[in-house]
């Protein structure tokens, strides 16, 4: 059975016999540090994980295929229970005879959840009123959708204050031949395939600061499958430190830098700031909403990519950064392949307050639970809140399956380590100081104040 506790703090996440089981209570030995950052002890934090607020699963026919689609939204939480956190993730899918449109939005700021819900209403309306554009030119539809969301938020017709609130977004349109993607921010889409594509549509995401912390848990919880799985990233994460994004922001008068604690230690991701003010502190270079950041180079235009489908395609995963901050592309690909055929195919309601395992849950929930399990390692090390976690998993099943031989994957696989470059590049200036901060950046979204001393934990 799954268990959160351990006699060794560095390996408190265990699953005996590799069972994919998640309990509804837990205990984390959070490290306590002094103002110099040295560990001086640990404090046991007991908590009850949040239940999902959305679970769906459905079969959709698309040409000669049957697509099994499942989705899950798992609210984030403060394990200490000191802060009430609103869930700001939202995901949904729409379909017709030509294809399936999957959308996911990750809100931030004081009204981020309203922004994410508003984007859904806009895209649903466009889907039904502009299907001709979607089928003839999916890239144009995706760009029109994000532009319309941003413009209508700017006009404030619905009374949503989007000055310091917004969302990331990823839209993926699947047809029988091609997958069209558009991303704004750092939510992501990937596809798992048994055939190595000739051209990768997007490079693998750069490793975040959490990867060093998560390297051990990745090794301990690694899933193994007999076939060679290629996890191909379909979208491009847009981070402020990326050269093209950085150049645009600096040209528009913004600055890009990480926060530092009172000792000068860098914490958290690179953020976008006004030149002479410690605001808005946005951790992505493109977003929907965040009007205050539009004057300093943050844009809502999506980065569009496409992928020509091949015979070995298995499934698509679309997730918020709650997934990708805890698991990399390879982790997600092998995990889903390992457990998707063991999961419940149709789920019509959420399992509330019960132990979660493949027999009572869809693969989207199991993936979300696994990501949250790995978040506990980050909490243990850095005493932070757990982000909202959401995903859509779309499994591709041929109606007339053609036998395909798969190459064997060596077991166990060799661990591949990558180093994170910590040096500041051109245009990445020294960050403002947060007084008395001894943990990693507590949130990744927008700050809602120009007073860095008072960090707002709304996201």
Provide the token pair at 391: 């995903």
- Compare 287 and 26 and report the one with higher pLDDT: 287
End-to-end CA distance of the chain: 33
pLDDT band at 91 (very low <50, low <70, confident <90, very high): very high
- Tokens 């306590």 found at: 32
In eight-state DSSP terms, residue 287 is -
Contacts of 80 (CB under 8 A, 6+ apart): 45, 47
Q: For residue 17, what pLDDT is reported?
A: 35
Q: For residue 249, what pLDDT is reported?
A: 97
Q: For residue 1, what pLDDT is reported?
A: 32
CB-CB contact of 369 with 267 (8 Å): no
CB-CB contact of 440 with 384 (8 Å): yes
Residue 310 pLDDT more than 80? yes
Q: For residue 452, what pLDDT is reported?
A: 39
Tell me how far apart the alpha carbons of residues 430 and 408 are, in angstroms, rounded to a whole number: 48
Q: Which of 102-106, 199-203, 400-404 has the highest mean pLDDT?
A: 102-106
Tell me how far apart the alpha carbons of residues 428 and 446 are, in angstroms, rounded to a whole number: 18
User: What's the pLDDT tens digit per position in 354-397?
Assistant: 899 999 999 999 999 999 999 999 999 889 899 999 999 999 99
Residue 243 pLDDT more than 80? yes
Would you kindly state where each structural domain of the chain is located, as residue ranges? 51-238+300-398
Residue 2 pLDDT more than 70? no
What is the fold, at CATH topology level, of the domain defined by 51-238+300-398? Answer: Phosphatase 2c; domain 1 (3.60.40)
Omega cis (within 30) before 280 = yes
Tell me how far apart the alpha carbons of residues 167 and 105 are, in angstroms, rounded to a whole number: 6
Q: For residue 200, what pLDDT is reported?
A: 57
Q: For residue 366, what pLDDT is reported?
A: 96
pLDDT band at 457 (very low <50, low <70, confident <90, very high): very low
- Tokens 């941003």 found at: 150
User: What's the pLDDT tens digit per position in 151-195?
Assistant: 999 998 789 999 999 999 999 999 999 999 999 999 999 999 998
Strand partners, 375: none
Q: DSSP labels for 361-384?
A: S-HHHHHHHHHHHHHHHHHHHH--
Tell me which residue of 365, 360, 382, 392 sits closest to 444, measured CA to CA. 382
Distances (CA, A) of 337 to 98, 329, 361, 403: 26, 12, 15, 17
- Other CB atoms within 10 A of residue 355 CB: 15
Strand partners, 397: 66
Provide the token pair at 256: 């890009």
CB-CB contact of 314 with 229 (8 Å): yes
Ranking 33-37, 240-244, 349-353, 427-431 by mean pLDDT, the lowest is 427-431
CB-CB contact of 446 with 165 (8 Å): yes
Q: Is 39 helix (H, G, I), strand (E, B) or coil?
A: strand
Tell me how far apart the alpha carbons of residues 171 and 318 are, in angstroms, rounded to a whole number: 9
User: What's the pLDDT tens digit per position in 42-86?
Assistant: 999 999 999 999 999 999 999 999 999 999 999 999 999 998 889
CB-CB contact of 85 with 416 (8 Å): no
- Tokens 């009007």 found at: 291
Q: Is 293 helix (H, G, I), strand (E, B) or coil?
A: helix
Q: What is the pTM of this model?
A: 0.84
* Percent of the chain clearing pLDDT 90 (strictly above): 64
Q: Which of 149-158, 209-218, 394-403 has the highest mean pLDDT?
A: 149-158
Tell me how far apart the alpha carbons of residues 135 and 110 are, in angstroms, rounded to a whole number: 36
pLDDT band at 19 (very low <50, low <70, confident <90, very high): low
Average pLDDT value for the chain: 82
């Amino acid at each position: 059975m799954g268990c959160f506790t351990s006699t060794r703090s560095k390996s408190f996440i265990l699953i005996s016999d590799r069972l994919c089981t998640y309990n509804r209570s837990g205990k984390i030995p959070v490290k306590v540090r002094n103002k110099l950052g040295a560990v001086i002890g640990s404090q046991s934090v007991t908590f009850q994980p949040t239940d999902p607020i959305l679970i769906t699963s459905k079969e959709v026919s698309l040409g000669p295929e049957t697509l099994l689609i499942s989705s899950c939204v798992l609210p984030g939480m403060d394990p200490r229970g000191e802060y009430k956190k609103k869930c700001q993730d939202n995901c949904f899918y729409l379909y017709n005879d030509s294809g399936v449109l999957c959308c996911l939005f990750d809100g931030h700021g004081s009204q981020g959840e309203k922004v994410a819900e508003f984007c859904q209403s806009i895209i649903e309306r466009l889907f039904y009123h502009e299907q001709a554009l979607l089928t003839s030119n999916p890239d144009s539809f995706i760009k029109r959708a994000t532009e319309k969301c941003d413009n209508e938020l700017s006009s404030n017709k619905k009374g949503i204050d989007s000055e310091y609130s917004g969302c990331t977004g990823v839209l993926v349109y699947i047809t029988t031949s091609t997958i069209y993607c558009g991303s704004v921010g750092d939510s992501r889409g990937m596809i798992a395939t048994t055939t190595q594509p000739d051209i990768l549509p997007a490079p693998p995401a750069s490793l975040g600061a959490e990867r060093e912390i998560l390297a051990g848990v990745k090794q301990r919880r690694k899933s193994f499958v007999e076939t060679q799985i290629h996890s191909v990233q379909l979208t491009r994460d847009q981070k402020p430190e990326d050269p093209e994004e950085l150049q645009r922001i600096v040209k528009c008068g913004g600055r890009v830098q990480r926060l530092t604690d009172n000792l000068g230690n860098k914490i958290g991701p690179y953020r976008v700031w006004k030149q002479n003010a410690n605001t808005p502190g946005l951790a992505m270079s493109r977003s929907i909403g965040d009007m205050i950041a539009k004057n300093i180079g943050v844009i809502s235009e999506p980065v569009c990519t496409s992928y020509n489908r091949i015979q070995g395609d298995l499934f698509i995963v679309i997730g918020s950064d709650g997934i990708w901050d805890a698991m990399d592309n390879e982790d997600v690909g092998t995990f889903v392949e390992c457990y998707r055929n063991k999961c419940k195919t149709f789920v019509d309601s959420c399992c509330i307050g019960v132990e979660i395992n493949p027999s009572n849950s869809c693969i989207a929930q199991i993936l979300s639970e696994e990501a949250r399990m790995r978040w506990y390692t980050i909490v243990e090390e850095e005493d932070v809140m757990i982000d909202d976690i959401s995903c859509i998993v779309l499994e591709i099943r041929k109606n007339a399956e053609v036998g395909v031989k798969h190459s064997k994957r060596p077991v166990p696989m060799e661990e591949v380590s990558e180093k994170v470059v910590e040096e500041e590049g051109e245009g990445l200036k020294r960050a403002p100081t947060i007084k008395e901060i001894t943990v990693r950046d507590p949130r990744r979204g927008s700050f809602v104040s120009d007073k860095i001393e008072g960090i707002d934990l709304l996201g």
